Amino acid sequence: MKPSCKQLCFFRDCATLVLTRDEVPSRLEVVVRRCSSQGGQYDEALKHLEALQELNKDDYKIAMNKAVVKFYKTGQTTTSALKQSLMAMKNQVHTSEDVDGLDDVENSLLYYNQAIIHYHMRQFSEAIAIGERLYQFLEPFEEKFAQAVCFLLVDLYLLTFQPEKALHLLAVLDKLSVQGGSKNGKGENNSSNKDWNQKAEFTALVETAKSKMHQYKVRAYIQMKSSKACKREIKSVMNTAGNSTPSLFLKSNFEYLRGNYRKAVKLLNSSNIAEHPGPIKTGECVRCMFWNNLGCIHFAMGKHNLGVFYFKKALQENDHTCAKLGDCSNAVKKFSGIPMCALLANKRYELLYNCGIQLLHIGRPLAAFECLMEAVQVYHSNPRLWLRLAECCVSANKGGSEQENKGLPCKKGILQSVVGQGYHRKIILASQSTQNTIHSEGQSAAIPVASMEFAAICLRNALLLLPEHQQQDGKTDTCSKAGSQSGSTETGSDVSDACSAKGQEDKFLSAAPSSPLRKQEVENLRCSILACSAFVALALGDNLMALNHAEKLLHQPRLSGSLKFLGHLYAAEALISLDRISDAIAHLNPENVSDVLVGVSTNEQDQGSDKGDETVESSGKQTPMCYPSSVTSARTMMLFNLGNAYCLRSEYDKARKCLHQAASMVNTKDTPPEAILLGVYLELQNGNTQLALQIIKRNQLLPLSFQRVSPDSRKKQVQAFQSIQLPSSFTQVQRK
């Protein structure tokens, strides 16, 4: 579940296009002033630029300034045209890709403008590549431009869930501010008016940036789930920004991280979102984020219906914002028609992802399937999203009653109906093979419908998207360079403390829009996909593929006890269907079950200890109704299935012992109907017709049914025996 770590874009004003100033300084300085937010005299600025271009027609920087001025003149709505112009200028400057560092410094503003456009077009990887290239030559840049490059990279790292790199860059920014202050203080006695103006401008810039840096640090610590470091920075944010909307959103996210969900809701409700600038200025719809955050909080509280309600409110607010700006979905494709910063305002697919997960939890798989199918069109490289789609298909095709599809407990019996009267009275037993009868005949399996065939395709995609082996990334990145430059400042020590816990981490696997997957999370996801794949293959009757998936699951390292239990069951059922009874009996050994814990528990070390008197709801998954709640019940299920396997080999005495042992371990009311059918079959095989009828009428196993009946008292009823069909297997426990 995505907890909306990116609440607001707190320093997006750094992500603006700039004009070069190194050719004819006096003239270009006039152009810059007239193009600023205070001036806005774009026509006059264009006249000056055309005059400059007549003097030097080969200078691409003047052409770039003209393109930027025209872009601002049109209200920043011609993003695609500006991107093409900048790309043409880059090709004009560099005919080959092999350029030296001096060229990078000389053309830094061209690269920066390209990174800004990639940023607003959601092309974050391209923007990071350009930003890291600029970061290598940070020393020659002036302080303001160096800060803009660092802040852009920080924002990009947080958007791509790389908080460690963002913290290192924030340490570099602290060092830049200290160096800039000392540099301006050296020539204080002999400084001119221009130097004084530059010093005042730099001081104001540093003061403005400090509050933004604290907010960035909070966002980074939240992504790292480092509550102690985050608590220190939250105090700084509240001291500098007060009870502003960004600071209250951050504090609410911090309380969400600690598990204080009611306090997080109170903080959100206390924020004045009406005073926040609209998406034209910030690129974010605060109302949409407000409802989205409420939905995430109620999801963590286990109130999924309320979560769906809030996500729908967020979708309505998002659609309303897009209607004001124009068609945002088309604008993102065409990159024209609306201001550049507003291209980031559309959060429809992130909200659909959140809404789909909520709907899946409340037992509405078809509605969840529709939401997730729309989200997968954008996030098609997310293996976890493909698994969720497969779970929607499985949940929609369980073959149970309406109560069972809604996640409610229901009583299942073995008696379907009674036909005839008196001597001709017949009992019709319920079929136990409804799970394997659902197929989408007459259409391709690739058509996106909630069928088991499509679930198999989704699971195949999920497995292909997972890496085979996680390797350590030994390359030196921006973080390592920043760490060497952080020195012994207070911020640098905080960064080293935070990164030491996360240091030497394995390479992440992107899973947008949710947080990336670490190495262990990837392995856990692989186990879940294999378990679900085995279940789907069994439902489709592909026993060889089911056995293959189950054996791969059982060979996974650090396999959880619950998935190990499912792996043995699925492998045994596949082997029984393949008439390999002896191999199936080895999998059905009750000693194979040692743990049946299911779901994801909260990480207590990431949550604060000062939770007050409020009761914190668990954010873990609840155990489904059909899943064993203890090791004893799981071993009971294994014994029932083991008795079934012995029956198939005509070893009725062993089957009766297994059934007797299992029945003594479980409550009479909790006996599965398949086990009752097995008891009926054994009694008919033993000649106890009356006792078999009593089992059917009472819908429970009787203690007398386990007593050995002497051969003299057997009354074989051949017709009744032939009318009872032995359940071949009943190991279909749905994976959750």
Check residue 442 and give its pLDDT.
59
Whether 633 has a pLDDT exceeding 80, the answer reads yes
Is cis: bond before 513, omega within 30 of 0? Answer: yes
| Residues 436-465, mean pLDDT to the nearest whole number | 80
Q: Is the pLDDT of residue 103 over 90?
A: no
What secondary structure does DSSP assign to 253-300, as a single string?
A: HHHHHHT-HHHHHHHHHHS-GGGS--HHHHS--HHHHHHHHHHHHHHH
Q: Do the strands 415-419 and 426-429 form a parallel or antiparallel pair, or are they unpaired?
A: antiparallel
- Yes or no: say if 372 and 388 are a contact pair by the CB < 8 Å rule: yes
| Span 494-512, average pLDDT | 55
* Mean pLDDT over each residue of the chain, to the nearest integer: 75
- C-alpha–C-alpha distance, residues 581 and 592, integer Å: 17
Is the pLDDT at 527 greater than 50, yes or no? yes
Dihedral, 567, 572, 577, 579 alpha carbons, nearest 10: 140
369-383 confidence digits (pLDDT tens): 999 999 999 999 999
**Better-scored residue on pLDDT, 79 or 352:** 352
Q: What is the pLDDT of residue 726?
A: 46
* Cα dihedral: 718, 577, 530, 378 (round 10): -90
Nearest to 65 by CA among 103, 104, 96, 34: 34
**H/E/C letters for each residue in 130-190?**
HHHHHHCCCCCCCHHHHHHHHHHHHHHHHHCCCHHHHHHHHHHHHHHHHHHHHHHHHCCCC
CB 183 within 8 A of CB 191: no
Q: What is the pLDDT of residues 683-704, one digit of tens each?
A: 888 888 888 888 887 777 765 4
Structure tokens at 637: 């299920």
List pLDDT tens digits, range 43-80: 888 888 888 878 877 777 888 888 888 888 888 888 88
pLDDT at site 168 = 92
- Which of 162-171, 560-569, 665-674 shows the lowest mean pLDDT across its residues? 665-674
Q: Which residues contact 695 (CB under 8 A, 6 or more apart)?
A: 676, 679, 680, 683, 701, 702, 705
H or E element in which residue 543 lies: helix 543-554
pLDDT at 26 over 60: no
CB atoms within 10 A of CB 332: 17
- pLDDT at residue 412, as a whole number: 52
CA–CA gap between residue 483 and residue 164 (Å, rounded): 10
Query: Residue 300: which pLDDT band, with cuts at 50, 70 and 90?
Result: very high
Kindly report which listed range (624-628, 629-633, 670-674) carries the lowest average pLDDT score: 624-628
User: CA-CA distance, 196 to 176, in Å (whole number)?
Assistant: 19
Section 148-159 average pLDDT? 91
pLDDT, average across residues 214-238: 88
For 337-393, give the DSSP string.
SS-GGGGG---HHHHHHHHHHHHHHTT-HHHHHHHHHHHTTT-TT-HHHHHHHHHHH
Q: Give the pair of three-digit tokens for residue 175.
A: 């060092």
Each residue's pLDDT tens digit, 388-441: 999 999 999 875 434 334 433 344 567 777 788 877 778 777 765 544 444 555
